[in-house]
Amino acid sequence: MEIFGVSLQGLAGQLLIGLINGSFYAVLSLGLAVIFGQLNIINFAHGALYMMGAFLAWIGLTHFGINYWAALLLVPLLIGLLGIVIERALLRWLYQLDHLYGLLLTFGLALIIEGLFRYYFGISGESYEAPEALRGGVDLGFMFLPLYRGWVVVASLVVCLATWFIIERTKLGAYLRAGTENPKLVQALGINVPLMITLTYGFGVALAGFAGVLAAPILQVNPLMGSNLIIVVFAVVVIGGMGSILGSIVTGLGLGLVEALTRVVYPEASAVVIFVIMVIVLLVRPAGLFGREN
Amino acid sequence: MKQRLIALSVAASLGALPAAPALAQARVSDGVVRIGVLTDLSGTYSDLSGQGSVVATKMAVEDFIAADKPAFKIEVLSADHQNKGDIASNKAREWFEKDGVDMVTDLVTTSTALAVMKIAKEKNRIAIVNGAASTRITNEDCNDVSVHYTYDTYALANGTGRAVVKQGGKSWFFITADYAFGHSLEKDTSDVVKAAGGSVLGSVRHPFPGNDFSSFLLNAQSSGAQVIGLANAGNDTINSIKQAAEFGITPKQTLAGLLMFITDIHSLGLKTAQNMYLTEGFYWDLNEQTRAWSKRFFDRHKRMPTMVQAGQYSSTMHYLKAVKATGSDDTAVVMARMKKTPINDFFATKGQIRDDGRMVHDMYLLQVKKPAESKYPWDYYNVRATIPGNEAFQPLSASRCPLIRK
């Protein structure tokens, strides 16, 4: 049986690959959504921090012998700390201003970070090997699935769902959401809102660092890996609805699948299809698929 | 104009004589030869050319001054063309008009090379292309002020394509970057493969720059082709190779990198890149001469040279020698001298610049070593064959360059 001139088996393989790419989109856009939802900052430095995550994993392994599993924990922590510094030192001065200022500041930061990495590591990048336990793969009948790719899907979904649960279903999440709605009132109730905002930014960029470590064994670790991805991820966030947690997860995975289907039908358009969808969504539902109209 | 004509005729009549230094000084405009290195200082190709190309050019100038003690001064300028045709042509125009630059060189992407060649023709200055790959530079878009020095897609396709078919890789599938360079590389290689008795089962075009290649690799895998030709460059090639290993495609199917540089192999690592075939115009570890020069380059740049950077040195030296020999920086005079003089240095033996601007020299078919075979840093290739220049490059008889009268 054939669909679009591709066997059903081939199609299943392509869709699975779409799901894998979609889970990267989901983790990255989730971080952006959390940050935008709580801080109203459009964090353009996200791609650069994702790249830093991958580089820190590589530096850890080659210079300090820190293995993949340790990096998976340590690197997001380090990136999160860096995020906290960025928030305290730079971003907090901008909350009263238009979104555009936050966007410009983080964009500038991204250029500086990428420039520094390019200067020290060159443009061709470095290779990072998958951990021993996740090398090789399984034959699913319709395709050969590298174990590591399977792990990427599982790890991203777990992190996404945990984040969604914390923000939407726990007391801490309730404080966070309330803090965004009416910071003064929440502060009056004795909750330290500025601290919460700082930690939220740290957490959002830690997700980028986490995605960077996940990506390191798949992609060549190079200074521009984030800037290639960030535009697509922003489109995902816009389609899902700025600031919507569930929206970014579902849209990330969904668009991964759409991209995969496009690669089957007309590969040349696979880089454009997400933006075409973005345009349509903006015309029909300007707040995004899961966003709330204000 | 009149003055220039007189200068030309004097130069022509003296061409055969060794130029007297006093005369030379008189005829190099304002006593300074200015070389503009227009390259990718920040983008995808900055490792294979970039700062390394600037370093190589400066080395050539220093060596030339030390050995030849010219009567004229030499200045080297450099700028980032960001791989964009419009930026490149604006910079070149500014250099030619305001800064008195005599020769622009490196030019890493085809679009920047073609744009600058056009301005060079308009302003009657010289363009020496080392970075860009397309055969258009010496065919449809050729002109008499430009040289294509280091390599082109024809030579790469010819070297790698033919060798892989000869080794038994008869059926091919292409993963192609969806822009002019990728298409041209795919077409050139397909022609070679078919001419050598192989067949092309299909191809898939990916957006540039790409990121995840697994779905394209899956297509290549299900095509059942023996060889997957990678008609892309830089990080796209690196990621394709990495992911092919991940999906168990190699070593069952063979990969052929159609445009790869030693810096790509360096960053991929031998474990992933081993056994691949590729063609280059230069390898640092060929002989005593190449090693000696490359080690000097390494001391300054901390990386071994790519063929582009080595070609950058060689072409700059060839240009400066032509200026000294003719005692002139006039474009027509220097070009005539450069075409007349064979190139013999660590980069090329009996290299010759043809009338279409193609510098013809030997190319090398290389195979990436296994990790165990590599004995010292940057020991990456086994040289499988030396492809003589007249076989490596497109013959003049097939040229589509309007300057060539058949």
Distance CA B265, CA B272 (A): 9
CB contact under 8 A, A123 and B247: no
Task: Give me the residue from B46, B215, B235 closest to A220, CB to CB.
Answer: B235
Provide the token pair at B156: 């790469």
Q: Which of A220, A232, A272, A275 to mutate to test the interface with B (most CBs of B within 10 A)?
A: A220
For residue B205, what is the nearest residue in chain A, using CA coordinates? A268
Give residues with Cβ within 8 angstroms of B94, minimum separation 6: none
Mutate which: B55, B80, B212, B247, vs A, most A CBs within 10 A: B212
The predicted-structure confidence for B87-126, as pLDDT tens digits, reads as follows: 999 999 999 999 999 999 999 988 999 999 999 999 999 9
Q: How many domains does chain A have?
A: 1
Residue B154 is encoded by which pair of tokens? 């024809």
pLDDT, residue B1, reads 45
CB proximity under 8 Å: B 32-71 to A: 42-48, 50
pLDDT at A38: 82
Q: Does B386 touch chain A (CB under 8 A)?
A: no
- Closest alpha carbon within chain B to A116: B42
**Quick check: B25 pLDDT over 60?**
no
Write down the mean pLDDT value for chain B.
91
- Whether residue A270 lies inside any domain: the answer is no
Max Cα-Cα span within chain B = 70
Please report, for chain B, the start and end positions of each structural domain, with discontinuous segments joined by +.
Answer: 19-151+286-357, 154-280+363-388
Vertex A277 angle, CA A274 and A278, to 5°: 85
Q: What letter represents residue A179's amino acid?
A: G
Domain that includes residue A176, residue range: 2-24+44-230
Are the Cβ atoms of A268 and B43 closer than 8 angstroms? no
pLDDT band at B20 (very low <50, low <70, confident <90, very high): very low
Q: What local confidence, expressed as pLDDT, does residue B211 receive? A: 81
Measured CA to CA, the distance from residue B161 to residue B167 in angstroms comes to 10
- Asked, for residue A119, whether it belongs to a domain, the answer is yes
Please judge whether B218 and A228 are an interchain contact, meaning their C-beta atoms are less than 8 angstroms apart. Answer: no
Query: Which residues of A are less than 8 Å from B266 in CB distance?
Result: 124
- Is B206–A143 a contact, with Cβ atoms under 8 angstroms apart? no
Please give the residue of chain A at the shortest CA–CA distance from B261. Answer: A124
In angstroms, the separation between the Cα of residue B235 and the nearest Cα of chain A is 6
Residue A78 CA to residue B174 CA, distance in Å, equals: 41
In this prediction, residue B7 has a pLDDT band, given cuts at 50, 70 and 90, of: very low
Do B214 and A20 count as a contact with CB atoms less than 8 A apart?
Answer: yes
Interface test mutation site (partner B, options A14, A15, A58, A127, max chain B beta carbons within 10 A): A127
Substitution target from B174, B215, B252 for chain A, most A beta carbons within 10 A: B215
* CB nearest to B235's CB, from A222, A260, A268: A222
Produce one character per residue of B360-388: b if its CB has 16 or more CB atoms within 10 Å, e if not: bbbbbbbbbbeeeeeeeebebbeeeeebe
Are A118 and B205 an interchain contact pair (Cβ–Cβ within 8 Å)? Answer: no
| Architecture of the domain spanning B19-151+286-357 | 3-Layer(aba) Sandwich (3.40)
A124–B209 CB contact, under 8 Å: no
Which pLDDT score is estimated for B23? 44
Contact B135, B347 (CB under 8 A): no
Asked if B153 is an interface residue toward chain A (Cβ–Cβ < 8 A), one would say no
Question: Per this entry, what is the length of chain B?
Answer: 406
Q: Is residue B180 exposed (0-12), middle (13-18) or buried (19+ Cβ within 10 Å)?
A: middle
Judge: B218–A13 Cβ closer than 8 Å, yes or no: yes
Residue B295 CB coordination number (10 Å): 11
Q: For chain B, give the percent of residues with pLDDT over 90.
A: 78
- Could B206 and A270 be called an inter-chain contact, meaning their C-beta atoms sit closer than 8 Å? yes
Fold classification of B154-280+363-388 (topology level)? Rossmann fold (3.40.50)
Does the residue A31 lie in any domain?
A: no
Which residue among B207, B238, B263 sits closest to A270, beta carbon to beta carbon?
Answer: B207
Residue A72 lies in a domain: yes
pLDDT beyond 60 at B322: yes
Q: How confident is the model at residue B252 (pLDDT cuts 50, 70, 90)?
A: confident
Alpha helices per DSSP H over A65-192 = 68-89, 99-121, 147-169, 171-181, 183-188
Tens of pLDDT, residues A56-98: 999 999 999 999 999 999 999 999 999 999 999 999 998 888 8
A126 CB neighbours in chain B (<8 A) are 267
Residue A239 lies in a domain: no
Q: Cβ(B218)–Cβ(B28) under 8 Å? A: no
Please check whether residue B370 is in contact with residue B274, taking contact to mean a CB–CB distance below 8 angstroms.
yes
Among residues B179, B238, B241, the alpha carbon closest in space to that of B208 is found at B179
Q: Which amino acid is at B74?
A: I
Q: Where are the beta strands (DSSP E) in B53-188?
A: 73-80, 103-106, 126-129, 146-148, 171-177
Name which of A129, A149, A228 is nearest B209 (Cβ-Cβ): A228
Phi, psi of B73 (to 5 degrees): -90, 155
List beta partners, residue B351. B343
- Residue B247 to residue A260, Cβ atoms within 8 A: no
Query: Does A137 reside within a domain?
Result: yes
Largest CA distance in chain A: 65
In a domain, A103, yes or no: yes
The 8-class DSSP code of residue B370 comes to: P
CB contact under 8 A, B212 and A219: yes
Reported as a single tens digit per residue, the pLDDT across B182-191 is 998 999 999 9
Q: How far is B195 from chain A (nearest CA, A)?
A: 28
Inter-chain residue contact A123 with B205, CB threshold 8 Å:
no
**Residue A88 belongs to a domain:** yes
Helix (H/G/I), strand (E/B), else coil: B233: coil
pLDDT along chain A (294 residues), means of 10: 70 90 94 88 94 97 95 97 96 88 94 93 89 89 89 95 93 87 86 91 96 94 89 92 89 94 88 94 92 70
